[in-house]
Structure 1
Amino acid sequence: MKPRDLPKHLPDTALAAHAREPEDLLSPLLQGPAASLFGSPVEPVQGPVHGVIVGTLLALADNGQTALVSFAGQPGHEALRARSVVDLHGPHMGQGVVLMFEQGDVHKPIVMGVLRGQAAWPLAEQPATVDVDADGQRMVVSAKEQLVLRCGQASITLTRAGKVLIEGAHVLSRASGVNRVKGGSVQLN
């Protein structure tokens, strides 16, 4: 629902509060003619689409499960919801994507892949990312400033400064071998 769809008798404060809903934050990216995204007016795609079309990944919805895409000649003026055969993440937003269409239907795009070598993110800062390196034997998760593992009231926090913070309602340290506590100084209670 957009502010223009609200009843006219609502006070301006209701319209202003509604305008700040999360789906409206993406409105500038998700609406507007395809020409504004691709530079020049393009005729709408007619009939079934066979082959691929290169589009743009505008956003990820439904907790990253649904891609919102746009392409030259798309029907309508809003982003299309698309399924994907590849994992899409925040850094992919703004990049070109290869699209195919279920049974040639231009309203049912499927993201087949992300084009490499593009730095098309439209904002000054890209979304935050965490690097994961896994080879089946070892997994390394890296973050620039802080990494937090959290479950309910328990958490383990690793900071860039080298601090390891373990918090929980109950903390148990158990070892079948030697359990060492070593540091520049050790404080108990």
Structure 2
Amino acid sequence: MKATTMTGTPGTAGFQSSASDASADGVERSLLEAVLDRPSQPARALPAAKVDGISIGTVTGAGASGVRVSADVPSLADVPAFTLLEVTEADIGRTVALGFRGGAPDQPMVLGFVLDAEPPRSARPPAEALIDGERVVLNAQHEIELRCGDAAIVLSADGRIEFRGTYITSQASATQRILGGSVNIN
């Protein structure tokens, strides 16, 4: 019977395999025995999962202990997060864009708030009205327009006053004066 002899370490220059007749002294072993008896190599660690790109998450906590977020990334539920902007308790529940330091899912970083998830904000401040019981003061930076049907009074910041309407009546119980650099009638 022929047996295969294995000498050296697999994968090295000294590894040799040869076939010969089985000897009585038992020095030679079968190929199967050689594979089973060889020292095992340490198991290779699998690379940690990486998160590429930007993910969408939710602020779940903010305060003295830091910012916490959750996202649809494996094992990312209410974990501490780095942040590039101020996140307060008022922001809990808001949708945020998340990046990950080195692609590590356990190191989320809040990059910013997702604006579409918020109610739309007015671009202009609301009109201001002061009513003290004797007079009404309306302030605007550009123009105030009062309308009723086809009639309108427009006050502009540059000092123009415009009266518009189908019929305009000016009435005074005392003297009525019209002053101006020039006065045009018709």
TM-score bracket, shorter-length normalisation:
0.3 to 0.5
Highest RCO, 1 vs 2 (Cα 8 Å, sep ≥ 6): 1
Structure 2-normalised TM-score?
0.38
Structure with the higher fraction of residues in helix conformation: 1
